[in-house]
Chains A and B, each alone.
Chain A
Amino acid sequence: MTTKPWNWRLWAGFGVSVLALLVYAVLLQTTRSIFWGSLALFILAAAFLVSGLRRLFAQPQPHRGKVAGFLLTAVSVMIFAVFVWGVFLAAKYFPAAAHAPQVGQKAPEFITVDSHGRSVALAQLLTTSITDSSGVSRTPKGVLLIFYRGYW
């Protein structure tokens, strides 16, 4: 019975690749900087794969093991390709907003249309009277602008 000392490294490389992609997909909605964490995991996966492939080439015999080894590496590379595609998609759907107004700046004015077709400007919102649960009418202390993607 021959031992296969290269085995665990290639499986580790594959496993860490899968983990890296999952971590990115799951945590992307929470924070965009998860990209760096996933990238670090892919680098770790690459280290395992390279190390495992080296040992694989050092084996003089069965090429059945080598085929499996190449397959694991190829699938791991494909997983990384899916990650790269995901990063480009994320850039398209989650704009970096480098020039979005900062805390302390004046909120840019704008005019929009409400659901009844009336025009609504930011200045109007800041002076709209709202009635709280006890029936008291007053102007708001602040307005929370919630930009969302819409449904179309």
Chain B
Amino acid sequence: MGILPVAISADSPEESRNNLIQQAGLTYPLLSDGKAEAIRRYDLLSPGAGVDGRDIGGTAEFLVDTSGTIRWRDLNEAGPAAFMEAAKVVQ
């Protein structure tokens, strides 16, 4: 369907590689938002909630179309079926 998934967390690039890319074999981009700046802009901050006390982001998904507009979002409430409906919207 031509949708590029990217995963964003406050993990560093090394942590993402060691945990998910190397061990789990994930192939889509894992982006590092080390200072939780993107997380803050999307209002997803869980301050100090990381295992070592770092600021991390809560789970959420945003589908962005080619014009940069958000077409669907899930603040950890909906499931995969709702996403499939939304994916059709940007086709």
Contact = CB atoms under 8 A, between A and B. Distances in A.
B75 A100 contact: yes
B54 to A, nearest CB: 7
A147 B64 contact: no
Nearest to A106: B68
Contacts of A32: 76-77
Interface residues of A, number: 52
B interface residue count range (under 10 / 10 to 19 / 20 to 34 / 35 or more): 35 or more
B63 A144 contact: yes
The 9 tightest CB contacts between A and B, nearest first, are A150-B9, A110-B38, A112-B31, A150-B11, A140-B4, A108-B41, A142-B90, A141-B2, A99-B43
13 contacts: A30-B79, A97-B42, A100-B43, A100-B73, A104-B70, A112-B38, A114-B29, A140-B2, A140-B4, A144-B62, A144-B83, A149-B56, A152-B50
Interface of A: 29-32, 92-95, 97-117, 120, 122-123, 125-126, 128, 130, 132, 138-152
Interface of B: 1-11, 13, 15-17, 19-21, 29-34, 37-39, 41-46, 49-52, 54, 56-66, 68-73, 75-77, 79, 83, 87, 90-91
